[in-house]
């Protein structure tokens, strides 16, 4: 008997030694010897053999041995359950657990730990509850594990109950339990209770302090974090990192670098990858290239790996600090597989600052399986640099091969459609948003309002606004107010603004630009004055140049030119080009040459090459019949080589944009277009149209003037649209300058003649022509 016991201990020692040396052949050899020796009935030895089998990656053999054991005890079951939980096979472990004839605290703990290890914290909590119901006394280890689960789930209510149980069982005073409670309260957001637990811990470890420092940082209590940090007798790298990353993550980059300097001077600890990543990121935010280079030199000297976090931080730092080519070399060394979105975006921004976005696209194309954030960053890069066509092409590729676009992607693409005033593309992206269920997103909804408004479809903009009725924010209201103002629906815009105020929504400076523009477009001078006063006195918004321009335009359009000039002179800021330009434009409408001359001179003193100032002044003289003065201005323009901006009109048919200038003879369908315009011209004359030859601001014969009027760019665009679009469909024409009086009158007659709605967007607003009238009521 003694001989068998000796052999049993001998084999057990061999098995334990094999756990260290990891020879996969040994467990089976010992198993064979154990059977030969008749020791296979010994439960202790068999339990050790089960343990060694699974640690040698023979979990199937371990289970087979367990099944063959004639005698099993609780440890036998626990050994196999532990094997399966540690290998991640929690469902098999649970099946064995449920078959156990008797369970001890180890059995329950094994399952709880197993669930926690694979992130199934809810199942771990339920297992703990079952353990309590089974009247198995929890241990210190049980409580710390279950508190870790509560912390991960932010399950504060359950955590408090576990705390009460720990107090009742006398476990709350254990350092490990106290630290787990502190961690649970900190991660669950109960700062007050965390502070109470912290104060009650008599033997505070570094981990205890680190938890409180992180908590204070999370809630922005930087003084408290620093106070606790300075109270520590000893600090580890986590302590320093908590301070450095805490400051950096909350935008206090200078403080983050200051703490790092103290670490280097006063501590023997070496920075790890977390320290380096945080410090490099702080350097990037502050654009401190010198320190960033010093950190890079340190990394090279110490042989620190530049893969993943540190490499990405280096790429971001160099990209933001103007060293984008160095960042590119680091990327080439590390490969694109580890490049994160933040670093890619930094690289993208770096190349954007250089005015070259192609290298960023090359990097993007090298990314393996880029996520939606990377796609969106690339798209936004194109959008911000004015490469709308590239953005559209990439978006189409994303729909075909990439991840599903999110609300940020769609909002960015809708801004492209807004800038292009492309209704067709906008509708397609709206369809994508509906399909991906992102159309209800507030950012997408707001972008849709702007897109439809800028593309000339105010009814669709209204529909989107009403669809986000319950979700809309101040941006939604502002977008709709601006849209209505731009379309000349001033009264509706003002009513919407009043509705917004009634709902206690707070308007911002952009909202007031919208409501003041609305007053301007419909000539509500007194109401505009009232809103301007409310903006300053009630909402305490300091007027910007945009608000001043709105007020100058409001007075000027209404013919109150003296008041407009007086307003400019009373402005607390130096009047800019827009202010004097607004006054000059109003002088042209109201044919005030004296004030136009003053406004033009002031405008040209700010911007000597402004062709609009020369043209507007010449046009004012021409409109008043002062041909010699007009000729002098045009001669001055020629001598100073100031080129007049060409008037252009364009419209989109299917996916093609067709652009027209005055007397445009380049379009492939020019013969048909001119013929159509001649025919329309004769027909609208029969309806009572009289050409406004005063709109030709040159001293020419009436017949020549009429011929010039007939070939204005917007008229040619409309003629082309009538030829190439279905009968009775809406025409949408865009123009870069203000619509002249003759075109405005002519288009009213054309809309009546062809029985179509014609929407024209000029430099200042939309005109909706229908049945012989315009939405602007001839006030523009």
pLDDT tens digits for range 368-420? 788 888 898 888 888 888 888 889 899 999 999 889 999 999 998 998 888 77
Q: How far is CA 726 from the centre of its chain?
A: 40
Using the 8-state DSSP alphabet, how is residue 406 labeled?
-
pLDDT of residue 422: 78
pLDDT beyond 80 at 45: no
The C-alpha atoms of residue 247 and residue 606 are separated, in whole angstroms, by 44
Q: How confident is the model at residue 179 (pLDDT cuts 50, 70, 90)?
A: confident
- pLDDT score of 500: 93
Q: Is 359 within 8 Å of 322 (Cβ atoms)?
A: no
pLDDT grade for 494, boundaries at 50, 70 and 90: very high
Q: What is the pLDDT of residue 561?
A: 94
Burial of 453 (0-12, 13-18, 19+ CB in 10 A): buried
Please state the pTM of the whole predicted model: 0.66
10-19, 119-128, 328-337, 468-477: which has the minimum mean pLDDT? Answer: 10-19
Are 413 and 443 spatial neighbours (Cβ–Cβ below 8 Å)? no
Residue range 519-545: mean pLDDT, rounded:
94
Q: What is the pLDDT of residue 317?
A: 93
* DSSP string of 530-542, one letter each residue: HHHHHHHHTS-PP
Q: How many CB atoms lie within 10 A of CB 192?
A: 7
- Residue 465 pLDDT greater than 50, yes or no: yes
Query: How far is Cα 738 from Cα 248, in angstroms, rounded to an integer?
Result: 50
Both tokens of residue 691? 């050409």
- Between CA 77 and CA 92 the distance in angstroms is 12
Indicate the burial class of 597 (C-beta count within 10 angstroms; 0-12, 13-18, 19 or more). middle
Higher pLDDT, 20 or 291: 291
CA distance 285 to 277: 12
Q: Are 110 and 86 in contact (CB under 8 A)?
A: no
pLDDT confidence of 663, banded at 50, 70, 90? confident
Residues 563-621 pLDDT 10s: 999 999 999 999 988 898 889 889 888 888 889 888 888 888 888 888 877 778 877 77
Average pLDDT over residues 169-173: 84
- Residues 140 and 177: beta-carbon distance below 8 Å: yes
Per residue in 70-97, pLDDT (tens digit) is 788 888 888 889 888 888 889 999 999 9
The whole-number average pLDDT for the span 260-282 is 92
**Among the listed ranges 15-19, 107-111, 376-380, 624-628, which one has the minimum average pLDDT value?**
15-19
| Res 55 pLDDT > 80 | no
State the average pLDDT over residues 170-186.
86
pLDDT the model gives residue 20? 59
d(CA 422, CA 651): 9
Mean pLDDT in residue range 334-363: 82
Which residues, other chains included, contact 717 with Cβ-Cβ below 8 Å and sequence gap of 6+? Answer: 649, 650, 651, 658, 660, 733
Query: What pLDDT is recorded for position 518?
Result: 93
Q: How confident is the model at residue 488 (pLDDT cuts 50, 70, 90)?
A: confident
| Cα(628)–Cα(244) distance, integer angstroms | 73
pLDDT tens, position by position, 203-259? 888 888 988 898 888 888 899 899 999 999 899 999 999 999 999 999 999 999 999
Confidence tier at 1 by pLDDT (50, 70, 90)? very low
666 token code pair: 């380049």
588 close to 604: Cβ distance less than 8 angstroms = no
At residue 478 the predicted structure's pLDDT band, cuts being 50, 70 and 90, is very high
Contacts of 411 (CB under 8 A, 6+ apart): 441, 443, 444, 446, 447
CA–CA gap between residue 66 and residue 743 (Å, rounded) = 95
With pLDDT > 70 as the criterion, what percentage of the chain qualifies? 93
**Helix/strand/coil for 172:** coil
Q: What is the dihedral of CA 498, 499, 502, 505, to 10 degrees?
A: -100
10 Å CB burial of residue 289 (0-12, 13-18, 19+) is middle
Summarised one tens digit per residue, pLDDT across range 272-325 is 999 999 999 999 999 999 999 999 998 998 888 877 889 889 999 999 998 888
pLDDT at 647: 85
Least confident of 257-266, 375-384, 478-487, 720-729: 375-384
The mean per-residue pLDDT over the stretch 22-43 comes to 61
Query: Tokens at residue 686, please?
Result: 């029969």
What confidence score (pLDDT) does residue 763 get? 85
Contact 142, 128 (CB under 8 A): yes
- Is the C-alpha dihedral spanning 137, 142, 147, 150 positive or negative? negative
Quick: pLDDT tens for 352-368: 778 788 888 888 888 87
**pLDDT for position 4:** 47
What is the model's pLDDT at position 2? 41
Mean pLDDT of the chain: 86
């Amino acid at each position: 008997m003694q001989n068998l016991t000796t052999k049993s201990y001998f084999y057990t020692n061999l098995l334990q030694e094999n756990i260290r040396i990891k020879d996969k052949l040994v467990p089976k050899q010992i198993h064979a010897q154990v059977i030969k020796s008749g020791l296979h009935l010994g439960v202790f030895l068999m339990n050790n053999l089960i343990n060694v089998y699974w640690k040698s990656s023979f979990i199937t053999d371990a289970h087979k041995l367990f099944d063959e054991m004639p005698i099993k005890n609780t440890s036998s079951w626990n050994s196999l359950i532990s094997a399966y939980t540690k290998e991640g096979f929690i469902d098999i472990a649970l099946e064995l657990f449920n078959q156990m004839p008797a369970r001890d605290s180890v059995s329950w703990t094994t399952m709880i730990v197993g669930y926690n290890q694979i992130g199934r914290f809810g199942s771990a909590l339920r297992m703990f509850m079952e353990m309590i119901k089974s009247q198995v006394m929890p241990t210190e280890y049980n409580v710390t594990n279950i508190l870790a689960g509560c912390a991960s789930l932010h399950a504060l209510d359950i955590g408090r109950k576990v705390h009460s149980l720990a107090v009742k069982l006398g476990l709350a005073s254990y350092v490990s339990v106290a630290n787990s409670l502190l961690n649970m309260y900190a991660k669950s957001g109960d700062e007050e209770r965390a502070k109470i637990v912290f104060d009650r811990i008599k033997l505070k470890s570094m981990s205890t302090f680190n938890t409180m420092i992180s908590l204070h940082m999370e809630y922005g209590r930087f003084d408290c974090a620093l106070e606790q940090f300075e109270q520590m007798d000893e600090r580890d790298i986590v302590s320093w990192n908590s301070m450095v990353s805490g400051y950096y993550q909350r935008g206090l980059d200078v403080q983050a670098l200051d703490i790092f300097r103290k670490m280097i001077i006063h501590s023997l600890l070496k920075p790890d990858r977390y320290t380096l990543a945080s410090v490099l990121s702080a350097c990037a935010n502050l654009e401190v290239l010198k320190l960033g280079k010093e950190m890079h030199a340190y990394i090279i000297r110490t042989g620190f790996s530049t893969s993943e976090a540190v490499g990405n931080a280096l790429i971001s730092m160099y990209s933001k600090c103007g060293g984008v080519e160095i960042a590119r070399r680091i990327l080439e060394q590390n490969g694109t597989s580890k490049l994160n979105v933040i670093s890619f975006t930094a690289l993208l921004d770096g190349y954007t600052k250089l005015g070259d976005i192609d290298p960023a696209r090359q990097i993007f194309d090298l990314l393996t399986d880029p996520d939606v954030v990377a796609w969106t960053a690339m798209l936004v890069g194109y959008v911000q640099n004015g490469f709308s066509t590239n953005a559209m092409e990439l978006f189409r590729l994303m729909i075909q091969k990439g991840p599903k676009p999110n609300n940020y992607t769609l909002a960015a693409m809708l801004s492209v459609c807004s800038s292009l005033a492309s209704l067709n593309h906008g509708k397609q992206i709206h369809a994508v948003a509906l399909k991906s269920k992102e159309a209800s997103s507030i950012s997408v909804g707001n972008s849709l309002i702007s897109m439809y408004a800028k593309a000339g479809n105010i009814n669709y903009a209204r529909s989107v606004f009403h669809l986000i009725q319950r979700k809309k924010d101040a941006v939604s209201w502002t977008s709709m107010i601006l849209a209505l103002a731009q379309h000349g629906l001033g009264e509706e815009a003002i009513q919407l603004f009043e509705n917004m105020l009634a709902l206690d929504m707070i308007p911002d400076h952009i909202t007031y630009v919208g409501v003041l523009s609305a007053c301007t477009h419909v000539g509500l001078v007194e109401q505009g004055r009232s809103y301007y006063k409310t903006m300053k006195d009630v909402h305490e918004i300091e007027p910007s140049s945009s608000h001043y321009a709105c007020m100058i335009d409001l007075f000027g359009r209404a013919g109150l030119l003296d008041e407009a000039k007086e307003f400019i002179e009373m402005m607390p800021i130096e009047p800019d080009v827009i202010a004097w330009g607004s006054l000059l434009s109003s002088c042209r409408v109201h044919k005030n040459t004296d004030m136009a001359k003053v406004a033009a001179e002031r405008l040209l003193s700010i911007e000597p090459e402004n062709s609009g100032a020369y043209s507007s002044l010449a046009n004012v003289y021409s409109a008043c019949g002062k041909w010699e003065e007009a000729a002098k201005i045009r001669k001055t323009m020629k001598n100073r080589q100031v080129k007049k901006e060409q008037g252009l009109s364009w419209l989109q048919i299917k996916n093609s944009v067709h652009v027209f200038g005055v007397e445009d003879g380049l379009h492939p369908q020019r013969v048909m277009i001119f013929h159509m315009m001649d025919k329309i011209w004769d027909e609208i004359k029969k309806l009572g149209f009289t050409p406004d030859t005063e709109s030709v601001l040159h001293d020419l014969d009436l017949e020549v003037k009429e011929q010039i009027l007939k070939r204005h760019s917007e008229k040619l665009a409309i003629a082309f649209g009538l030829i190439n679009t279905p009968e009775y469909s809406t025409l949408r024409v865009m123009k870069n300058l203000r619509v002249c009086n003759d075109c405005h009158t002519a288009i009213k007659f054309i809309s009546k003649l062809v029985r179509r709605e014609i929407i024209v967007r000029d430099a200042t607003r939309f005109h909706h022509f229908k049945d012989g009238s315009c939405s602007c009521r001839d006030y523009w």
